[in-house]
Chain A
């Protein structure tokens, strides 16, 4: 089925809750209202003719200018070999989206990743915790306005240019040697001074 046909079927079933198809720049998508996304996904999965049994990807894109975080759903039908792309827009300040873990189990880890890196909360998710980053990490790195906190548990995230660092180490070593030099040359000075005498 083409993307247009799939979209028409969604439109017929869900009306205005499924937005218009994006102008076909590349992979066209439709924006779905957040509260209907579980229903839409279940419909996509269980309707004969659509049979989207495989959730390929669920990810997000942060748009600070529009003040939304887009959640992107990509599903494939292994039987009919067609693909659908849906999006849900969530408010950046408090992004909450229903979880589709009940429809496709694959969403479990994918939603955990989105929660971890974008800070989107999925209601109804059975085990929503960070997957990549430590549990006590502050912030969500893939947001556009993310500021690094300056280290974690005393591990700094600032690292000098390797060459600068090497130079600093060299200087430190020289400084270590420097006080030894006044001490040793006087001791050693008589020794080289002797041969000329001899």
Chain B
């Protein structure tokens, strides 16, 4: 890695090499960027990841099918519901299980709440990276309410382990529905408040507009996912375009970047897509709570599931974009191969090409707007 970068440096120039990370507060976890700069302007920024590689995919081959569920939480601990759900869907497809309606609705509700919580962290830390600390605290305060709700639902606040192969672990507790609705009423006003607080703040807009533009073609070519892809103006949402679970029953918009204050695909578009998505998630939770069917929350699943040899993919729209599990079975009670494709990993790939010409402070904005979570990159 050092050799690769050093080779390009001309000894007589003003260029220098900086280690941006791995413990830098704005890298959101342990990521290192080797930044080659000419004064304040970045020549290239090469991400060096792997500090959090725990071999989760290998663990998936060692523990049994249901035993891997808690590990999936650790792939993306900011939005653990989706990691659960993707793995559950892949295994259900392998086992040819029909998930009960009520479980699917519960998955949608918990998932969308989790998406709001994750986006709150994302936009909060983004404002903090730009230099405004207050909105972060507002975001974390709202997230706390969601954590409380999810804690009541499944007992955990961060690594939920809520999904099971064939359904979910717990039904709604008594009075939960009213609490959730009360929170959503509050949350819709909060979103407006947050917009007034920071979104259209002039300094904030100037720091983000037209910065680190990722064009539509680039975004698709690099396999960006989720709000990063939609921020570049690509209307693609797995929930709508390759529907799964209960989502075909809900009406929601897919917000895309339109160059709200600058160019399509700049940092502000990615940020604002997340803000809009939170509103849509709130709509989905309301619809789901209204139309919730009765019934079982678990399909009949053997204690040690043994799917016949074959392979299946399960893809969900996570808070960080498309999360696709690819599970191969060889007919035993352990998976032969578990693969998790995550949005953050793909987002890191775009940094090297997206960074030249940026100021150092804009690199912070780029990383924050891509909303990467280090364990999701490294797995």
Contact = CB atoms under 8 A, between A and B. Distances in A.
Interface in B294-328: 308-313, 315, 322, 324, 326, 328
A81 B242 contact: yes
Contact of A129 (B4, B55, B309): B4
A27 B53 CA distance: 29
Contacts of A104: 221, 223
Interface in A35-87: 53-57, 59, 61-62, 72, 74, 78, 81, 83, 85
Interface in A125-169: 127, 129-135, 141-142
Interface in B191-219: 218
B15 interface: no
Interface stretch (B161-169, B270-278, B336-344): B336-344
B341 A26 contact: no
Contacts, number: 86
Contact of A133 (B53, B241, B309): B53
Nearest to B313: A27
Contacts of B309: 25
A135 B345 CA distance: 19
Interface in B223-264: 223, 234, 236, 241-242
A108 interface: yes
A133 B50 contact: yes
Determine the main DSSP class of B at the interface with A: mixed
A135 B328 CA distance: 29
B90 to A, nearest CB: 10
Nearest to B341: A57
B244 to A, nearest CB: 13
Given A26-B94, A72-B326, A81-B241, A131 B312 contact: no
A56 B221 contact: no
Contacts of B312: 26-27
B49 interface: yes
Contacts of B315: 56
Nearest to A133: B50
Interface in A79-124: 81, 83, 85, 104-106, 108-110, 113, 117
Nearest to B221: A105
A61 B324 contact: no
Determine which residue in A59, A106, A108 has the highest number of CB atoms from chain B within 10 A of its CB, and name it.
A106
A143 to B, nearest CB: 10
A106 B336 contact: no
A132 B322 CA distance: 21
B141 interface: no
Interface in B31-90: 49-50, 53, 55, 57-58
Contact of A56 (B94, B322, B336, B349): B322
A163 B336 CA distance: 32
A83 B312 CA distance: 13
A130 to B, nearest CB: 8
Contact of B326 (A59, A78, A106): A59
Interface of B: 1, 4, 49-50, 53, 55, 57-58, 93-94, 218, 220-223, 234, 236, 241-242, 308-313, 315, 322, 324, 326, 328, 336-337, 339, 341, 345-346, 348-349, 353, 378-379
27 contacts: A25-B311, A26-B93, A26-B310, A26-B312, A53-B221, A54-B223, A57-B339, A57-B341, A59-B339, A61-B337, A74-B326, A81-B242, A83-B242, A85-B313, A104-B221, A104-B223, A105-B218, A105-B221, A106-B221, A109-B345, A109-B348, A109-B349, A110-B223, A113-B345, A131-B50, A132-B50, A141-B58
Minimum-distance CB pairs A-B, first 10: A106-B223, A25-B310, A109-B349, A132-B50, A26-B312, A57-B341, A132-B53, A105-B221, A59-B339, A61-B337
